[in-house]
Amino acid sequence: MNASLLIAATLLLAMTMTGCTHVAPYERGILAHPTMTSGDLAGPSEAHVRAVHEGAVGGGASAESGCGCN
Amino acid sequence: MRLGRVAARVAWMMVACTTISGLLLAHVDRADAQPAGATPKKKKPKAAPSASVAPPAPPPEPATETTPAPPPPEPPPPVAEKDKKSEDEKPKVSNVSARVGTEMGAYTDTERVTVLTPSIYGAVYNPTGGWSVSGNYLVDVVSAASADIVSTASPRYEEVRHAGGLSAEYKPGDLGGNVYGSVSREPDYLAYTIGGASTYDIFEKNASILLGYTYGHDVAGKNSTPFEVFSRPVDTSTFKMGLSYVLNRRALLTFIYDTILQTGDTSKPYRFVPMFAPGTVVQPGASVQHVNEIRLPERASEHVPGSRNRYAFSAGFANRFEGATLRIDERLYTDSWGIKATTTDIRFLADLGQRVTLGPHVRLHAQTPVNFWQRAYVSKGVEDLPTLRTGDRELGPLTSVSGGTYLRVYVGGSGDPHKVGLGLDTYVTYTSYPDDIYLQSRLAALGAFTLEVNF
Taking phi first (over 0 means left), then psi (-120 to 50 degrees means alpha), and beta for anything else, what does residue B311 get? Answer: beta
Q: B325: nearest CA in chain A?
A: A35
Diameter of chain B by CA atoms? 98
With 90 as the cut, is the pLDDT of residue B168 above it? yes
Q: What is the ipTM of this complex?
A: 0.76
Distance CA B347, CA B47 (A): 21
Strand pairing class (B275-276; B377-378): parallel
Lowest mean pLDDT among B73-87, B308-322, B391-405: B73-87
Question: So what's the pLDDT on residue B245?
Answer: 86
Q: Which of B168, B218, B22 is nearest to A67 (CA)?
A: B218
A32 touches chain B (CB under 8 A): yes
Please compute the mean of the pLDDT values over residues B167-193 and round it to a whole number.
93
On the question of pLDDT at B147 being above 70, the answer is: no
Q: B235 falls in which pLDDT band (50, 70, 90)?
A: very high
- Summarize pLDDT for B430-440 with one digit per residue, the tens: 999 999 999 99
CA B170 from centre of chain:
22
Most confident of B10-14, B94-98, B179-183: B179-183
The rounded distance, in Å, linking the Cα atoms of B453 and B410 is 10
A6, A33, A70, best to mutate vs chain B, most B CBs in 10 Å: A33
Of B320, B58, B47, give the one whose Cα is nearest residue B205. Answer: B58
**For residues B113 and B143, is the Cβ–Cβ distance under 8 A?**
yes
Q: What is the pLDDT of residue B8?
A: 54
pLDDT for B88 beyond 90? no
Average per-residue pLDDT in chain B?
82
CA–CA separation, B342 and B364 (whole Å): 8
pLDDT of res. B12: 55
* Residue B118: exposure state from Cβ atoms within 10 A (0-12, 13-18, ≥19): buried
Q: Give me the pLDDT at residue B40, please.
A: 34
Higher pLDDT, A62 or A40: A40
Q: Which residue of B has its CA nearest to A1?
A: B334
Q: How confident is the model at residue B148 (pLDDT cuts 50, 70, 90)?
A: low
Task: With CB atoms and an 8 Å threshold, state whether B400 touches A54.
Answer: yes
**Is the distance from CB of A42 to CB of A51 less than 8 angstroms?**
no
The pLDDT confidence band at residue B152, using thresholds 50, 70 and 90, is low
The answer on pLDDT for B326 being more than 50 is yes
Q: What is the pLDDT of residue B128?
A: 87
Q: Kind and range of the H or E element at B314?
A: strand B307-321
More confident residue, B116 or B59: B116
Rounded Cα–Cα distance for residues B281 and B264 (Å): 34
- B84: pLDDT strictly greater than 60: no
Confidence class of residue B383 from pLDDT cuts 50, 70 and 90? confident
CB contact under 8 A, A41 and B429: no
Chain A residue at shortest CA distance from B159: A69
Residue B75 has pLDDT above 60, yes or no: no
At the topology level, CATH places domain B177-454 in Porin (2.40.160)
pLDDT in tens, B343-378: 999 999 999 988 999 999 999 999 999 999 999 999
Q: Distance between alpha carbon A41 and the CA centroid of its chain, in Å?
A: 11
Which candidate in A4, A11, A53 is best for mutational testing of the B interface (most B CBs within 10 A)? Answer: A53
* B393 has pLDDT over 80: yes
pLDDT for B386: 92
pLDDT at position B35 is 39
pLDDT value for B65: 43
pLDDT at A16: 61
CB-based contact (8 Å) between A5 and chain B?
A: yes
**How many CB atoms lie under 10 A from the CB of residue B6?**
18
Q: Is A58 touching B (CB cutoff 8 A)? A: yes
Question: Are the CB atoms for B275 and B298 separated by under 8 Å?
Answer: yes
How many Cβ pairs within 8 Å bridge chains A and B? 266
Domain borders along chain B are 177-454
Is residue B407 very low, low, confident or very high in pLDDT (cuts 50, 70, 90)? very high
Could you write out the DSSP letters of every residue in B16-48?
A: HHHHHHHHHHHHHHHHHT--TTSPPPPP-PPPP
Res B28 pLDDT > 60: no
B39 compared with B18, residue with greater pLDDT: B18
How far apart are alpha carbons B370 and B389 in whole angstroms?
A: 10
Contact state of B448 with A43 under an 8 Å Cβ cutoff: yes
pLDDT bracket for residue A68 (50, 70, 90):
very low
- Give the pLDDT band (50/70/90) at residue B3: very low
* Nearest residue, CB atoms, A32 vs list B58, B191, B193: B58
| pLDDT given at position B89 | 56
Note whether A45 and B448 are within 8 A (CB): yes
CB B261 within 8 A of CB B309: yes
Q: How far is CA B199 from CA A30, B45, B281, in A?
A: 22, 19, 55
Q: Does residue B114 have a pLDDT over 80?
A: yes
Task: For residue A58, give the nearest of B184, B258, B268 by CB distance.
Answer: B258
Alpha-carbon span B285 to B437, nearest angstrom: 5
In A31-53, which positions are buried (b, 16+ CB within 10 angstroms) versus exposed (e)? bbbbbbbbbbbbbbbbebbbbeb
Q: What is the pLDDT of residues B250-282, one digit of tens each?
A: 999 999 999 999 999 999 888 889 999 998 888
Tell me the average pLDDT across A17-27: 72
Residue B50 in this model has a pLDDT that exceeds 50:
no
Q: A18 in contact with B at a CB cutoff of 8 Å? A: no
pLDDT at B121 over 90: yes
